[in-house]
């Protein structure tokens, strides 16, 4: 069974200042001492959670995506986090999954935070993205998606030409990147644990710290949680770079000992 090493970067963000944020994040990456395979950045890591996409959006050939491409190659890691992207005259809160070889995939945030007007400025995505690294299947989601369990709900997969006994869970790890305010941090922490328990998977949640341009304080509370809902890592209020190795055999042991995932209801998620 394989292991997977992940580094989370919980940092303050300079409000709508791409150059300053990229410089800080470059420094954080440079100072990672452990060998790691995936580095997770917060939601809108180059700007903060801004509702000014007309002024801040980039294309997929823009500065921030190119920085991700160069940085992933330089440090030989998968780099992920969300960026404000313009495409076909629409704006997206796009989580990019950048490989060291320059190839990438992306997930557009499905649930837009109407309470802050995100739904008025951005276009919602319709499709989930489950990436793969070293045999691990990884479900990528963004911030407010956390409040909607159906969108993350574990499904079972039956390989072609195989019988029912060959069914397996759809994914092994769920990653959330966020700009989640401190005033609702109890919900953030509780729901991250709930997603791990109900989906019998590891969960990584990476949030920012500090005040944003709207004077909203973010306490971080980035977490790593195991498939039983036990917290393996939690950091509040402080900037922190943390590296952890997840073990596939521990995940499989939980799923074998407690095969609750087999009893789940079958369903189809609509893209509409």
Residue 1 is predicted with a pLDDT of 64
In this structure, of 85-99, 171-185, 254-268, the range with the lowest mean pLDDT score is 254-268
- How far apart, in whole angstroms, are the C-alpha atoms of residue 83 and residue 238? 23
Q: How large a percentage of the chain has pLDDT more than 90?
A: 91
Average pLDDT score, the chain: 95
Residue 18 is predicted with a pLDDT of 98
DSSP string, 62-107: SHHHHHHHHHHHHHTSEEEEEEEEEETTEEEEEEEEE-TTS-EEEE
Active site residues: 43, 109, 143
Here the contacts of 30-35 (C-beta below 8 Å, separation 24 or greater) are: 31/241, 32/7, 32/75, 32/241, 32/243, 34/5, 34/7, 34/243, 35/5
What domains are there in the chain, each with its CATH number? 3-263 (3.60.110.10)
pTM: 0.96
Stretch 165-171: mean pLDDT, rounded? Answer: 84
Q: Which two tokens stand for residue 60?
A: 């997929």
Residue 53 has pLDDT above 60, yes or no: yes
More confident residue, 84 or 159: 84
Q: Can you state the angle between helices 18-30 and 63-75, rounded to 10 degrees? A: 10
Residue 215 has pLDDT above 80, yes or no: yes
Q: Which residues on neighbouring strands pair with residue 87, listed in sequence order?
A: 90
The answer to whether 212 and 218 are in contact (CB under 8 A) is yes
Question: What counts of helices (H) and strands (E) characterise the chain?
Answer: 7, 15
In this structure, of 53-62, 114-123, 129-138, 256-265, the range with the lowest mean pLDDT score is 256-265
Could you report the per-residue pLDDT of 80-100, keeping only the tens digit for each?
999 999 999 999 999 999 999
Stretch 169-198: mean pLDDT, rounded? Answer: 98
Secondary structure letter of residue 12 according to DSSP: B
């Amino acid at each position: 069974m394989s292991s997977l090493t992940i580094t989370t970067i919980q940092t303050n963000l300079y409000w709508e200042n791409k150059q300053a944020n990229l410089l800080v994040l470059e420094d954080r990456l440079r100072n990672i001492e452990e060998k790691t395979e995936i580095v997770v950045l917060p939601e809108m890591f180059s700007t903060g959670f801004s509702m000014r996409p007309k002024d801040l959006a980039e294309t997929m050939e823009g500065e921030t995506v190119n920085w991700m491409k160069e940085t992933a190659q330089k440090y030989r890691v998968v780099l992920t986090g969300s960026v404000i992207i313009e495409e076909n005259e629409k704006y997206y809160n796009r989580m990019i999954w950048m490989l060291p070889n320059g190839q990438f995939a992306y997930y557009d945030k499905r649930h837009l935070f109407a309470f802050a007007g995100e739904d008025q400025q951005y276009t919602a995505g319709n499709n989930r993205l489950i990436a793969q690294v070293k045999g691990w299947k990884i479900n990528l989601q963004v911030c407010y998606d956390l409040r909607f369990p159906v969108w993350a709900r574990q499904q079972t997969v039956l390989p072609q030409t195989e019988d029912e006994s060959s069914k397996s869970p759809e994914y092994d790890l769920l990653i959330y990147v966020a700009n989640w305010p401190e005033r609702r941090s109890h919900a953030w922490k509780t729901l991250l644990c709930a997603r791990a328990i109900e989906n019998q998977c590891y969960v990584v949640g990476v949030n920012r710290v500090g005040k944003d341009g709207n004077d909203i304080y973010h306490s971080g509370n980035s977490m790593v949680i195991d498939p039983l809902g036990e917290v393996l890592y939690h950091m509040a209020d402080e900037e922190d770079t943390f590296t952890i190795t997840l073990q596939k055999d521990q995940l499989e042991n939980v799923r074998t000992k407690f095969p609750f995932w087999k009893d789940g209801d079958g369903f189809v998620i609509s893209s509409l």
